[in-house]
Amino acid sequence: MNVFRLIGDLSHLLAILILLWKIWKTRSCSGISGKSQFLFALVFTTRYLDLFTNFISPYNTFMKIVYIVCSCVTVYFIYVKFKATYDSNHDTFRVEFLVVPVGGLAFLVNHDFTPLEILWTFSIYLESVAILPQLFMISKTGEAETITSHYLFALGAYRALYIVNWVYRYYFEGFFDLIAIVAGCVQTILYCDFFYLYITKVLQGKKLSLPA
Amino acid sequence: DEETQAKDEL
């Protein structure tokens, strides 16, 4: 465990908690893509099935459980508890266009053709594109609440830190996982446009809005 | 022959 990885994990946790807090505090999930949140819940549940087969560390087990529980609670908030505030008219990204190709790719390109390994690979590929419905929603409405942009920034920072973590691990441990690295880079690239807007607008105290 | 390693990353 290196410092980039740790801060990356904490940034990821922060993102998840910011989102839960925003929904709970405002009693509203407006501006949040339920589809992205559903995909993240699917990512965690398919990736962390090794909770039942492999023990790595108390930290690892704890974080996995927290991620799964928080993502499921988020989905519950959006689709059940605060359903009336869910902006489904703007959340129109076709999820099957992500899940089906990603599922196919996981079957074709993986480390090992076993159920757990294919599900892990599926979750890695799916995570890399799971934010697309959220970004699509923002591009459709042309704006995002400031708290939502903080959420996205923390999530993007987590991805960027994981890349630094892989560079570190490659040099100092000789470790690399090509599937995770390629998918992670794709995922980080998707945030670049958002990072630019975040730095030029949100950090200057303005609301994140796109030019019409 | 590639061995599937334990996934310590989240």
pLDDT, tens digit, 9 for 90 and up, residues A106-134: 999 999 999 999 999 999 999 999 999 99
What is chain A's length?
Answer: 212
pLDDT tens-place string over residues A46-98: 999 999 999 999 999 999 999 999 999 999 999 999 999 999 999 999 999 99
User: CB–CB of B6 and A56 under 8 A?
Assistant: yes
Report the complex ipTM. 0.82
User: Which site among A112, A122, A123, A167 would you substitute to test the B interface, given the most B Cβ atoms closer than 10 Å to its Cβ?
Assistant: A112
Flag whether residue B7 sits within 8 Å of chain A, measured between CB atoms: yes
CB A45 within 8 A of CB A98: no
pLDDT tens-place string over residues A153-192: 999 999 999 999 999 999 999 999 999 999 999 999 999 9
Q: Parallel, antiparallel, or unpaired for β A143-144 and A208-209?
A: antiparallel
User: CB–CB of A9 and B10 under 8 A?
Assistant: yes
What is the DSSP secondary-structure string of A45-102? HHHGGGGGT----HHHHHHHHHHHHHHHHHHHIIIIITGGG--TTT----THHHHHHH
Predicted confidence at residue B4, as pLDDT, reads 56
Q: Which of A43, A143, A126, A141 has the alpha carbon at shortest distance from A92?
A: A141
CB A165 within 8 A of CB A4: yes
Predicted confidence at residue B7, as pLDDT, reads 87
Nearest to B10 among A54, A67, A114 (CB): A67
Distance CA A113, CA A118 (A): 6
Which residues of chain A does B1 touch, with a Cβ-Cβ cutoff of 8 Å?
A: none
Q: Which of A79, A91, A179, A78 has the alpha carbon at shortest distance from A132?
A: A91
Distance CA A36, CA A71 (A): 10
Asked whether residue B5 carries a pLDDT value surpassing 90, the answer given is: no
Confidence of residue A210 (pLDDT cuts 50, 70, 90): confident
Q: Give the CA-trace dihedral at A63, A145, A90, A15, to 10 degrees.
A: -10
Confidence of residue B2 (pLDDT cuts 50, 70, 90): very low
Predicted confidence at residue A135, as pLDDT, reads 96
Q: Output the average pLDDT for chain A.
A: 96
Percent of chain A with pLDDT over 70: 100
Asked whether residue A144 carries a pLDDT value surpassing 50, the answer given is: yes
